[in-house]
Structure 1
């Protein structure tokens, strides 16, 4: 018997092959293109009698303007649920961002699902969940001319940090269990229930090889659990099989094997289809066992690009048209080109506007309180910076009319405004963690500037301060906020109002709920004093600021808050979008030199530090 498993993950409501921020087609993304690969992969094996199963691995419901509109249209069928029905999905899992819709909206949308919705380690209190702990799929086939059946057990897990990241939506309504503890329990139950094959939909990436509690990226120890036969991974927007995970312990990145178990991680936004083929043999006495397996990814773009599926294009037509119309609404004006091509080395004007909008809204809400007299800062990080999402994923807004789509282009996440009080010591740790996105540079050598293993949205810039980043030092903190190099200090000369910041000096900082709730593992958050502020969407705050409905804010008006310590003879290689070459004057201080594009299409710019 042969079983083919097809998988998507991290669609983030990229239904069409279209970029709503720039209002242009994008051939590298979109479920309409992945759908063509799905139909082809089915056709290849169905004629020979193989079982074909199709799964989605979560973070499908949020992430683009079309997702926002679809979630609001309560009287209409949800476009993605219709697509899952049209494509014949067998089960869908959930991801952490799906819970950002709030439980009411999430349950309403999932009630339209055409197949089981599985989320094994998230438990809703006080009410029955739409999702279920597991699914058992029974498929009838003929083996050597005789009718028989196969039972496939499916469970699904999300990072336990979801409870904190989405706390502004979930309140105390859910409990999220440890991934590995849940997985061991579900595997035992599914085997006891007679399942021949067990598939894990794991909205998690490849991180530590050790089975420690509360892992966010738990795929490696998860694959080491006996009796899991195939894993769909996700969350980090990387790919497997592929070079993204070369060198990790217990991982065959070329073959898509982790502890010998086939694993696929199909990228982001419909960029890839994951395919796992299993060959099984069976006897009446011992049942079915897997004798061979193969894992592969199929990209929607490249030498043989997948066309858009006409039936899905038609299905999405109304919501696509309505979204384009809505995001064209004018809200303001900009005299300067706003882009994020150089967010990691120079002033990002768009990021400065986000910081100014946050500060303006917060000042308004702190008037007359005890916090009004404390100096105010604003923390913002780039939300479109290339990285795992590819060379097209940058903010790029020309001078002129600002439209609703530009608001989302500046801040793509549905975050809310938060505020904390921190000390000068906290500020130092905050900036050290932020500077961890950079590689250590050495004199006389060229090194890639940004560490691809660090998330770019964790590069917080603290507007209202000035400070120096010394890249001759190693990072003080590792990616999960643990002290890695106690003697290292990349950050120096932190100043407020041109005076050195002292260890005990207090600041109010405007920031988003993701960071305030511990997202990114920043060490300062454990000791920060939260300030109660009204529920305010940062996108709405930004819209009001651009429409002059909020007071003009001085934060963000000056030069770039950070600068690099001089390192004569050291060269940093910045990977950015190809259109960055039109804006090289913005980084003239680094004597930029173009060195071509890499295999993924990123423009490579050599910077002299």
Structure 2
């Protein structure tokens, strides 16, 4: 079994954000591994199954341009067909463009597109039966697929009232039992979900462990979290063999993201001598990841994708305006990020007409934004970097990579404070007077590090966090956010405000408790990146927000951070933190020591 997951439209070895080659990246390189693995298996007399585990439609500009310019067939479907995929499952981001566009894209592909815990979408299969001939007879493989129920919240603007997404474990249990009863020799779960350290409960987002524990599942293809298995990322989790790639004894592979790895599960099968119908049984198994590092792109797939590649590059060169300064995210978790300030400006400008129409112009408006490119799991090259001067659609995509719409929320000063406490909880605890503590985890999910423009505040990482990364309250009295001010005066907890945020956050993404009961103000749908483009086209006429926060001074305390290599030439922007450049580490990031 060969598997990819979370491709996120990384098809070619090209960086569309700066229009330069990006060697050793994309499905064109994974394709080289696929061809080699297929030839290796077939030479050994093995049947070969190739699957994808979802989140393939969204993630790079080629995906967005394929939708906006109606490129058909869709480039990802073209690639799947060319490489001979046997089945694909759906992930949460595959609904980012809505159900109708998803139907247009996958409606006539020559392989099954599966989601087993989805109700209300007639063009998606609930499972698939695949038959593979061998010298000793045919092997029948049942394939199911599940995705997080939270998808219905994250994409509520597309999905509300149209679909239902059931619990993943319960769906996997029911469908796998049915497939076994129908005579399948093997049942494989395409589980677009990660592994967690808790039981999760009903409707959990990361439930691959519970799915692997089902005795009707023979192998699991996991994903969603962009991590790796086999590998150390899941060491210490109950039931997980991080070296052997087994979860509760079930062969399980998780192949990173963006085509970075090919997941391989080898199963040795034999006829069950005690079975009346001679069913196959699983003997030995072996799980591995094969990396695309230093792998050359597959020339055939590269040729197949030439036309959409050229169309995307041309579309991204469309001008939208100018930027007065360089906009980058190298310091977004510890210093100024003027790119976020531009997005905040654009968001406010886009919704003010609707606020006036609703008769709410008397309420202060804050604008909530979070970085979408910040290194972390995506690597040291994944930072926003827009040069000063002409701005094109390429740069708009670099500022915000997700397909979100804008929402307006009505809330109180107390809710704003709690919102920021959740954001500040993503940082590590830094003891006062300590030296060299990491400010944030290496794999921080900084798309949940909301920065609120329109207020000013400081974050004190020496204080305990109010929440954990999942939004569970650890200490309701904990306070990292200090000196929160609106118009220069302390924010009254009873003060009413409006906040503009993206649809992911407003729909419950990130588990921000402060927003769970906040009221929504009706606004017409506005796509966030279109708001950014309109802002530049209008000549940047927004309120002119400046980066609104800073770290609390802690004399005698230093922290260590990771950022992109290009940040070395920009350290004057964080001069108040007396940065010491520690150089570029083995991980490819530039490491800095900052003095608070």
Answer yes or no: same fold by TM over 0.5: yes
1:431 aligns with 2:416: no
For 1:460 and 1:293, locate their aligned partners in 2 and report how far apart those are by CA, in whole Å: 44
Out of 101, 107, 131, the residue aligned to residue 138 of structure 1 is 131
Residues 477 and 485 in structure 1, CA contact (< 8 A), matched pair in contact too = yes
Residues 208 and 218 in structure 1, CA contact (< 8 A), matched pair in contact too = no
Alignment of 1:56-455 (within 5 A): 56-74=52-70, 76-124=72-120, 129-143=122-136, 148-286=137-275, 287-301=279-293, 305-442=294-431, 443-455=433-445
String of CA shifts for 1:108-161, please: whole Å, max 9, x gaps.
Answer: 11023221111001112xxx6221111111112113xxxx12111110000000
For 1:389 and 1:112, locate their aligned partners in 2 and report how far apart those are by CA, in whole Å: 32
The residue aligned with 1:604 is 591
List alignment gaps of at least 5 residues for structure 2. Answer: none
C-alpha displacement at 1:232, in angstroms? Answer: 1.0
Two-structure CA RMSD over aligned residues (Å): 1.5
For 2:489 and 2:200, locate their aligned partners in 1 and report how far apart those are by CA, in whole Å: 46
For 2:4 and 2:23, locate their aligned partners in 1 and report how far apart those are by CA, in whole Å: 17
For 1:106 and 1:227, locate their aligned partners in 2 and report how far apart those are by CA, in whole Å: 30
The residue aligned with 1:18 is 14
The residue aligned with 2:509 is 519
Alignment of 1:494-505 (within 5 A): 494-505=484-495
For 2:171 and 2:188, locate their aligned partners in 1 and report how far apart those are by CA, in whole Å: 14
Residues 330 and 374 in structure 2, CA contact (< 8 A), matched pair in contact too = yes
String of CA shifts for 1:526-557, please: whole Å, max 9, x gaps.
Answer: 221100001111111100101116x722251x
String of CA shifts for 1:380-414, please: whole Å, max 9, x gaps.
Answer: 00011111111111001111111110001001111
C-alpha displacement at 1:343, in angstroms? Answer: 0.3
Decide whether aligned partners of structure 1 residues 586 and 319 sit closer, same or farther in structure 2, where only a CA change above 3 A counts: same
The residue aligned with 2:34 is 38
C-alpha displacement at 1:104, in angstroms? Answer: 1.0
For 2:272 and 2:180, locate their aligned partners in 1 and report how far apart those are by CA, in whole Å: 17
Aligned residues: 592
Decide whether aligned partners of structure 1 residues 415 and 528 sit closer, same or farther in structure 2, where only a CA change above 3 A counts: same
Structure 1 length-normalised TM: 0.95
User: Mean alpha-carbon deviation: is it higher for 268-277 or for 242-251?
Assistant: 242-251
Structure 2 length-normalised TM: 0.97
C-alpha displacement at 1:453, in angstroms? Answer: 4.9
C-alpha displacement at 1:473, in angstroms? Answer: 1.8
Q: Which runs of 4+ in 1 moved over 4 A?
A: none
Residues 24 and 296 in structure 2, CA contact (< 8 A), matched pair in contact too = no
Q: 3-state DSSP class of the match of 1:39?
A: helix
Residues 8 and 266 in structure 1, CA contact (< 8 A), matched pair in contact too = yes
List alignment gaps of at least 5 residues for structure 1. Answer: none
C-alpha displacement at 1:368, in angstroms? Answer: 4.4
Residues 437 and 560 in structure 2, CA contact (< 8 A), matched pair in contact too = yes
Q: 3-state DSSP class of the match of 1:407?
A: helix
The residue aligned with 1:565 is 552
The residue aligned with 1:581 is 568
Q: 3-state DSSP class of the match of 2:380?
A: coil
Q: 3-state DSSP class of the match of 1:51?
A: coil
Residues 71 and 308 in structure 2, CA contact (< 8 A), matched pair in contact too = no
User: Mean alpha-carbon deviation: is it higher for 317-326 or for 279-288?
Assistant: 279-288
For 2:220 and 2:23, locate their aligned partners in 1 and report how far apart those are by CA, in whole Å: 27
Residues 211 and 221 in structure 1, CA contact (< 8 A), matched pair in contact too = no
Residues 107 and 123 in structure 2, CA contact (< 8 A), matched pair in contact too = yes
1:528 aligns with 2:518: yes
For 1:584 and 1:75, locate their aligned partners in 2 and report how far apart those are by CA, in whole Å: 42
